[in-house]
Amino acid sequence: MNNFIFQNATKVYFGKGCVQEYLTCLTGSYSTVMLAYGGGSIKKNGIYGEVVGILEKAGKTVVEFPGIMANPTYQKVLEGAALAKEVHADMILGIGGGSVMDCCKAISLAARYDGDIWEDFWARPGIIQTEPLPLGVIVTVAGTGSECNGGAVITNTEKKIKTGRDYPKLNPKFALMDPTYTYSVPQKQMVSGGFDILSHIMETYFSEPNEDNVSDDLMEALMKSVIRNLRIAIKNPTDYTARSNLMWDSTMAENRIIKMGKKCDFECHNMEHQLGAYTDCNHGCGLAVLHPVYYRHIYREGLPKFVRFAENVWGIARDGKSDEELAAAGSDALADFIQEIGLPTTLKELGVSNRSELQEIAGSCGISAGSYKKMTKEEILEIFQECFE
């Protein structure tokens, strides 16, 4: 394995009833809590009432910051930071999935930083010396794994750039994870979130080193878990075992553990981020369209790992197949699974209608140094064109 340093500062409280059991003590030293959330679904499913009731009973002043969108914008971050400063918030409590958590992390920094956080920390990597506003999260969607890292993906709509940075200082102080909170998530959102989990794992798995290592072994088990439990959850959305496994799969995919000693290839995320910056498409759905085509472009360069993927994740028998045939069969199994769970397989299905825009989008994509194949802007455009219809 390659050398690494491991750190994770977030304390996780996992399981049914964890919000009722722990939220009061976790917010004990804070008087003004800025409650951040998305479109208001938490008011319909009862989570909002439960959380606000606990905070008010504990004597907290609750200031609401609603309306965080699916692809959070830099403008929304600045709005949140301005409100946090205005009300002198002691902490931020984010309730939702990855978009809410990512936005809250950026707000926690912007609320305490005097400069331009986009230019200083998102346009390029920076070093955070400011102490961010304390942040806690209550997870309602399994997908991004944002609850246990300092990563935040933000879209600058003026510049048409969607990018993520991971700063350990932005890790939430705590994450409350009750799998029953995910029950009311619409099936499409659950499935796209589930594929995002799989994508995070695959993008770490399909990278060097190829030699036997703990991270690859863990990832094969996690990928099989996501596939198995997503199938179960589609049939029975309130299967607690499946939903709790998916929730922890999501965390394990992005709490940095499986990345230890790995080079990591985030080319599909780079491509989807820019696709999202231009079209505001669903993140998990965009990844589902791109992954099989991207892997058909690179599997020969990473042949041993793609053979492992076919055999150890999908259970495909060799039966006289060559390595190339076996590797291709693994990518085909992934494509078949995407169809099985009802995710789109073309950009047209995703709602992308302007083919002429693809060249500009491809030109704006970052190049991942961890890819088995050295990608070019021209090949990225080829992938987008192959994905179109």
Residue 3's pLDDT is what?
85
How far is C-alpha 172 from the chain's CA centre?
15
Spell out where the chain has E strands: 11-14, 32-36, 61-65, 91-96, 135-139, 151-156, 161-166, 174-177
CB 94 within 8 A of CB 37: yes
Contacts of 113 (CB under 8 A, 6+ apart): 120, 130
CATH number 3.40.50.1970 is the correct assignment for the domain at 11-182:
yes
Here the tokens at position 141 are 């969607």
Positive or negative torsion for Cα 296, 302, 307, 312: negative
- What pTM was estimated for this model as a whole? 0.94
Give the CA distances from residue 366 to residues 117, 121, 239, 267, 363, in Å, rounded to whole numbers and listed in that order: 20, 17, 39, 8, 8
Residue 269's pLDDT is what?
95
Residue 40's pLDDT is what?
84
Q: In order along the chain (389 residues), what is the average pLDDT of each group of 10 residues?
A: 84 97 97 95 95 98 97 97 98 97 98 96 96 98 96 95 95 98 94 97 97 96 98 97 98 96 95 93 95 97 97 97 97 98 96 92 95 96 96
Residue 6's pLDDT is what?
82
188-387: what CATH class? Answer: mainly alpha
Contacts of 214 (CB under 8 A, 6+ apart): 1, 260, 261
Task: List the domain boundaries for the chain.
Answer: 11-182, 188-387
Residue 1's pLDDT is what?
72
